[in-house]
A and B are shown apart, each in its own frame.
Chain A
Amino acid sequence: MMVSKEEVKHLAWLARIELDDKELEVYTKQVEQIISYFDTLDKISLEDIHISQRSVPYSKFRDDVPKESTDNVLSVVKNSKEKFVKAPKMA
């Protein structure tokens, strides 16, 4: 699979990661190399295979009863106003 610089630039934007020109150059090569390796999955026929559920079942869900949070979650927020988190404005 060929991967272009434009594609990597777009993916970086989707993931909100800033890349400078040099990074874009290096990443494009590396992404192409790795994606080409993933192409080995094309060699195998998987038509009759289904995505399996976990072999050991999950625990039962607990009852939906509200509990008091014991953690002071807001203690880690640097920019807060009263009980709100201050964030940059949406464009």
Chain B
Amino acid sequence: MITMDLLTSSAADIVTQIKKGYVSTEEYIAKIFDHIKKVESNVHAYISLNDLAIERAREVDSAVKRGEKLGKLAGIAIAVKDNICTSNMKTTCASKILEHYIPPYNATVIEMLEREGAIIIGKTNLDEFAMGTTTEFSRFKETRNPWDIERVPGGSSGGSAASLAAGETTLALGSDTGGSIRCPASFCSVVGLKPTYGLVSRFGLVSFANSLELIGPMCRSVYDTALMLNCITGRDSMDHTTLDVDTKDYTATITQGVKGLKIGLVREMISDVDEHVSKTIHDAASKFESLGANLNEVSIDSLQYALASYYTIAMAEASSNLARYDGVRYGIDMGPEGFEWNSYYTKVRSNFGDVVKRRIIIGTYVLSSGYYGKYYLKAQKVRTLIKQEFASLFKTYDLLIAPTMPILPFKIGEKTMDPLHMYMTDIDTVAANLIGIPSISIPCAFTDGLPIGLQIMGDHLSEELLIRAAYAFEEITDVKKVIV
């Protein structure tokens, strides 16, 4: 046996040791569960834990002893956002509507990760139906930022990000509709990637806004992110929006650096941000220059309309998607006997939280016959405009950089009463969702003990480039990613 800190080591290192038989998967998984027991009362990252994880760990150890060929993530602990379906575990979306729901199938990404030997250790907290930026709008608990438990971890994949930063898992899955992977990654000082729309299957991701969202990896290193992405991409017959592209090994080119690449710093994304954030991102830009990249400031005029376009589309899609929760076929059961359809349907849906109800109502508003042209159609046209501006920039620039979040992690409860103010914090992340491009958030620095994330965006299917640049940056910076 070798000595390594199993709570903080990378998946890449742990899997190597497991395969050699130097690390016992059972001991490693048990150690993670012990740690969860110790810190969870402060962090509140998980909604449920997987009772079968230890059994799965023993199976991996037996396979190692038998000399069997093992998967890329053999024995590695993974935390899964609780809006991704798992057939043996509850999938609640942090909602009362799905509080006891156990899906009859696995999401495609779960099938793929388990095939590679990953072990689901638990389901992580989120804002109800992934609608939020702080994880305060879970109907079960508020997840806290491990770097300062008085502050929000970001959201909506706040449980996944916090579990990584607190050493409660080695890898995690999140979902990103308007920044829900990148925002908590930034606030918790971990890596989070929203891939190109269609690169990862959405089958089994509970729908909020289908044209915007995707599942993606959240990790403590860029290398682990590449490793995990290797396991979840590909065409899926269950999701016809998945792309017919060859799977790649994103670790193969990871060390190629940024020398000669053209990188644009997006003016509109950095002009109105917190001064610490601004300084940190300008410093990061200089670091890329020192690595041999050509750096320029660029401007995307239509970005001023991105947030209004995004929220119009996201709420419209949400109002349509969430119509399915009728309390009849699955989810909450209030006993339909004696009820008339409409009164039962309405009673069931009173179980949605405020945030969700408000979004459904506004979504209904922008889709209603008198306002469809004024809001929804316009929002879709703005989406085209933004897409055109980005496309023209990508003719010259390989990558674009910006802050992930315009502000530092704020105090729990600080913004809960003002929805519009809360939406404004998504200002730098929503563009990537509107136009379907990949975007990664990586730890950039700490200021006054609080993390700042750097966002790197690229053209469709440029994940290799994103990962190369993120890795090069990570190599020359020393930012803490875990606190145990």
Contacts and interface: CB of A to CB of B under 8 A. Distances in A.
Interface of A: 3, 7-8, 11-12, 14-19, 23, 27, 30-31, 33-35, 37-38, 40-44, 46, 49-52, 54-56, 58-62, 70-73, 75-79, 85-91
Nearest to B345: A16
- Helix, strand, loop or mixed for chain B's interface? helix
Nearest to A60: B244
A68 to B, nearest CB: 14
B167 to A, nearest CB: 35
A79 B451 CA distance: 49
Nearest to A51: B380
A72 B88 CA distance: 13
A11 B349 contact: no
A53 to B, nearest CB: 10
Contacts, number: 174
Contact of A52 (B308, B361, B383): B383
19 contacts: A15-B364, A30-B358, A33-B420, A35-B366, A42-B374, A46-B381, A46-B382, A52-B384, A55-B435, A56-B243, A56-B461, A58-B198, A60-B244, A70-B105, A71-B105, A85-B328, A88-B337, A89-B339, A91-B340
Nearest to B333: A78
Contact of B308 (A8, A30, A38, A72): A38
A11 B369 CA distance: 12
Nearest to A56: B460
A18 B101 contact: no
Contacts of A30: 358, 419-420
- Helix, strand, loop or mixed for chain A's interface? loop
Nearest to B332: A78
Number of contact residues on B: which range applies? 35 or more
A59 B244 contact: yes
Given A51-B384, A76-B101, A79-B333, A91 B358 contact: no
Interface stretch (B35-43, B143-151, B234-242): B234-242
B362 A34 contact: yes
B387 A52 contact: yes
B308 A37 contact: yes
B460 A91 contact: no
